[in-house]
Structure 1
């Protein structure tokens, strides 16, 4: 079917098509990078903590007032809490996954290590020996920490040989070709012997990078984070009575931030969720504006070409031919814009990479954004194109 007259008319007045092509290209550049950013946030919020989230309650414990025998009080706390129906295990730790108080230090092959011998700075959990049981961690190899590994809080800074456990990711980074068991590494200048490797434990803080780079050390903790593992069907009852129970045992302290792990995750990722909603809203708005722009351009073109369309109908073009032409014309404009927009997407990503240290854009997100734009553009063309196909051949005889 010959559409030469209509096509030449487009070339004589290319402004509208050019503006729409620019709009589509810009939308692709922005949308593909936003899709990538959204996916990064979603993956971040979906990270496995390594903990049985649905069974764990965490709280902060702070002492005040007169001196208290905290070690004795911690033993009383554990004994009392374990008597509550549904409570399986109780532990004190310096921090919790996704919680605050993120203690980090360089982990080195040598005591006086330089940058090359200290490749990573993991977070370290200083917790009692029941911590793994309370959180429900999985042992990969070796053993869990026990009472023989315990040190007191006062001894934490003394350069003495101690033991530790590594996350599986960290163990493989330091000893990729052999088992990490029995090896020595230096944490903050202190020599520690690796006695076990656990599958996973997320670092404290939602913004922490290298999320699986964690260490466990044994310490007789008496305050900080209190972690309690509870039967899932009793978790709300224990949570409700926890503060009253703890203060009843000792009123020289406060119990704050009583949350389940799921609630802690929701708090930690609140900004990420808000960012996802914002980014998706912006993308939706961009796509809507692009769709309206395409529909407006095609409607304007149809209005200006009615006599040409009528002429083509009078010469034998069917409604299907007219419809196919406008769909094809829009496809050609959109395809050209998407090619240009793909280059713009990577240029924008390069800027974001250098300015905000974002990851390099993957090709799949450009494809997703391009496919979305192509579908929306073709859909937006459909209604005006249908109107064009209904133009009567008789209009060619009118002097307008």
Structure 2
């Protein structure tokens, strides 16, 4: 069938055609970006964390007594709480930290090699106050040097993560003994996922220092036997209340829950766009079905005359479908542009990779298939028009 005749046919129904094109354009844009977001959310949530997500519990606390917020009363309180938690059956290790892994933000500072600030300075590195048992509590892997000991308390000795060491020294084993603005490096541990909005989510620097104040609270971390996680969680509140009633236990969560929250924004947006694109796809199929059915009824006489002049059913079927294919093709072309525009807007809100060309092209093929399925029945009805009936109506 001639493209000119197809365009003329579409122009006869300008408003209906325009609405269908808008619908197809938005459907393809949503479909492409929802798949992109879903793919990214899956990849992010399956990155190695370097952590025991299911058996590590994080407790967020804040003293309600002003006298307990400052050192040394604060340090004494933390040690008493840790001693009580270690008495709970199933608790393997317990440690204090100023912040937990898998946060969006927290206590950060810059890190650079002494004397080379201009070339090695790294912004936004998580600063973690750690004690000797934090190594076992987080089940860290030591790569080079040693972990912090009790003798390192309030000294300038620090441990850093492997990725941070490589960023500063190109090879992590070269980091041992090097002096940074944060302190002297005595050890390098395997990477852990620490902060989402740090310079890199695997960067981390660990001190063994007292926490001077806890105006915003502090964290206790537990490493628990897998079969005892639920039982331990039930006993935490009572154990901590017995140590000190003047304490606000803000939350007790596993690192698994923090990990889910870590990527909640991408996951939630991916689900929302997937639902919207699915609904738009259904609506586009309904619109294509209605459009083809209405058009077929309007052209019954014309189709009957064509049948009387020798047009086969297959030719009529292709003619009706060709109109839907042309409309979908134009909508897909506009949708390709809309897909990239939507991706650019989403990228200003969340971290989003570039949209690969194959994704909207696959979306366009999916759209074409759905529209073809939706149009098939109305097109099949059009082929059943009797030449005799059509000519009598003229």
**Range of TM-score over shorter length:** 0.7 to 0.9
Q: 1:387 aligns with which of 381, 390, 393?
A: 381
Shifted more, 92-101 versus 82-91: the winner is: 92-101
1:59 positional shift: 0.8
1:73 positional shift: 4.5
Relative distance call for 1:139 and 1:338 in structure 2 (3 A) is: farther
Alpha-carbon separation, structure 1, partners of 2:29 and 2:50? 37
Alpha-carbon separation, structure 2, partners of 1:162 and 1:87? 29
2:144 pairs with 1:145: no
Which residue of 1 is the match for residue 230 of structure 2?
236
Shifted more, 274-283 versus 36-45: the winner is: 36-45
Q: What RMSD, in angstroms, separates the aligned Cα atoms of the two structures?
A: 3.4
Which residue of 2 is the match for residue 21 of structure 1?
21
Aligned length: 385
Which residue of 1 is the match for residue 157 of structure 2?
162
Alpha-carbon separation, structure 1, partners of 2:351 and 2:89? 49
Relative distance call for 1:211 and 1:371 in structure 2 (3 A) is: farther
Q: Mark the runs of 5 or more structure 2 residues left unpaired by the alignment.
A: none
Alpha-carbon separation, structure 2, partners of 1:300 and 1:96? 62
Q: Mark the runs of 5 or more structure 1 residues left unpaired by the alignment.
A: 152-159
1:195 positional shift: 1.6
Alpha-carbon separation, structure 2, partners of 1:177 and 1:99? 27
Which residue of 1 is the match for residue 58 of structure 2?
58
Relative distance call for 1:270 and 1:258 in structure 2 (3 A) is: same
Alpha-carbon separation, structure 1, partners of 2:91 and 2:7? 79
How do residues 1-400 of structure 1 correspond to structure 2 at under 5 angstroms? 7=6, 10=9, 13=12, 15=14, 16-17=16-17, 19-63=19-63, 64=65, 66=67, 69-99=73-103, 102-110=106-114, 113-114=117-118, 116-151=119-154, 161-166=156-161, 168-176=162-170, 179-182=173-176, 184=178, 186=180, 189-193=181-185, 195-203=187-195, 210-220=200-210, 224-267=218-261, 271-353=265-347, 358-400=352-394
- Whether contact under 8 Å (1:149, 1:218) holds in the other structure is yes
Relative distance call for 1:328 and 1:101 in structure 2 (3 A) is: closer
- Whether contact under 8 Å (1:107, 1:185) holds in the other structure is no
TM-score (norm 2): 0.82
1:242 positional shift: 0.7
Shifted more, 264-273 versus 291-300: the winner is: 264-273
Alpha-carbon separation, structure 1, partners of 2:358 and 2:123? 31
- Whether contact under 8 Å (1:323, 1:385) holds in the other structure is yes
1:132 positional shift: 2.6
